[in-house]
């Protein structure tokens, strides 16, 4: 099973509505998207701590109000074809995904200044108000506090831990939590680590794999979902 990374990061500006439409046009069923809060606490799709790389603005994302953020161009940096693209709210995102039949692996993106409880609270509110089906949602985070807030505030949603760990010791720390999946950096996933994750009953997913020739190998290790920037070659 293929999940488009940040939408379809190779084909459209990451974490945008164009990326979601590109995924749907390709027939992809799942996208991974990153969510953060604006200064006025609106959940929006964005990966980096600053707007510098993916917009024509400068500065920390969490210091922009939604209105200020909407003045920025979030597409032209990627390709002139996407000029005019805006940073989308989570509400717009889930509405579009529901319309286009796309399921969402929503990464609760925590940077140094993020308050995980507030972020998850605002995300939970949008998930509930849009009525986005929990079976079409997989929440994930590198942040254990964010994961604990997800489990508490969205008990119907599956929650995954994203990790760069290479040794299985971290699995002891998460054992008391009701985590559904572990999302490993494909560069660090050994057969031993895969076995340890699977033997504890977690679904095993990897990021970010762009070499299609390795897909069979990871499938053999028990990987269920592959997060990739460019899903097209995987379906050839």
Quick one: 85 or 107, whose CB is closer to Mg ion? Answer: 107
DSSP conformational letter for 79: -
What's CA 152's distance to the chain center, in Å? 19
In the complex, the smallest distance separating the C-beta of residue 67 from Mg ion, rounded to whole angstroms, is 25
64 near ligand G3P, judged by CB under 6 A:
no
225 noted as active-site residue: no
DSSP conformational letter for 16: S
Distance between CA atoms of residues 75 and 69, nearest Å: 13
Residue 191 buriedness (CB in 10 A; 0-12 / 13-18 / 19+)? exposed
Quick one: 31 or 94, whose CB is closer to ligand G3P? Answer: 31
Pick what 85 binds: ligand G3P, Mg ion, none; C-beta below 5 to 8 Å, kind-dependent. none
Structure token digits, residue 227: 């997060």
219 noted as active-site residue: no
> Which of 47, 149, 183, 225 is an active site residue?
47
> Which of 5, 149, 183, 225 is an active site residue?
5
Q: What separation in angstroms does the CA of 34 have from each of 52, 189, 232?
A: 16, 22, 21
Structure token digits, residue 84: 């005019």
In the complex, the smallest distance separating the C-beta of residue 71 from ligand G3P, rounded to whole angstroms, is 25
**Which one of 2, 32, 147, 151 is in contact with ligand G3P (CB under 6 A)?**
32
Interacting residues with ligand G3P between 198 and 217 (CB under 6 A): 207
Q: Is 159 helix (H, G, I), strand (E, B) or coil?
A: strand
Positions marked catalytic: 5, 47
Summarize as ranges the residues that interact with ligand G3P (CB under 6 A): 5, 32, 34, 47, 107, 140, 162, 183, 207, 227
């Amino acid at each position: 099973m293929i999940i488009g990374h940040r939408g379809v990061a190779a084909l459209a500006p990451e974490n945008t509505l164009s990326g979601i439409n590109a995924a749907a046009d390709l027939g992809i069923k799942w996208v991974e998207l990153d969510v953060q809060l604006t200064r006025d606490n609106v959940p929006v799709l964005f990966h980096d701590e600053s707007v510098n790389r993916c917009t024509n603005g400068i500065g920390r994302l969490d210091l922009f109000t939604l209105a200020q953020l909407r003045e920025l161009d979030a597409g032209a940096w990627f390709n002139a074809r996407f000029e005019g693209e805006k940073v989308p709210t989570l509400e717009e995102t889930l509405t579009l995904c529901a319309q286009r039949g796309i399921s969402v692996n929503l990464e609760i993106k925590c940077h140094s200044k993020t308050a995980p409880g507030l972020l998850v609270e605002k995300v939970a509110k949008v998930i509930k108000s849009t009525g986005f089906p929990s079976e079409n949602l997989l929440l994930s985070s590198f942040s254990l506090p964010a994961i604990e807030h997800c489990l508490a505030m969205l008990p119907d949603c599956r929650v995954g831990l994203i990790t760069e760990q290479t040794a299985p010791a971290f699995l002891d720390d998460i054992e008391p939590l009701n985590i559904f999946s572990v999302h490993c950096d494909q560069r660090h996933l050994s057969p031993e680590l895969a076995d340890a994750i699977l033997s504890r009953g977690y679904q095993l997913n990897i990021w970010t794999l762009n070499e299609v020739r390795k897909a069979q190998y990871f499938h053999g290790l028990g990987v269920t979902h592959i997060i990739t920037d460019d899903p097209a070659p995987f379906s050839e």
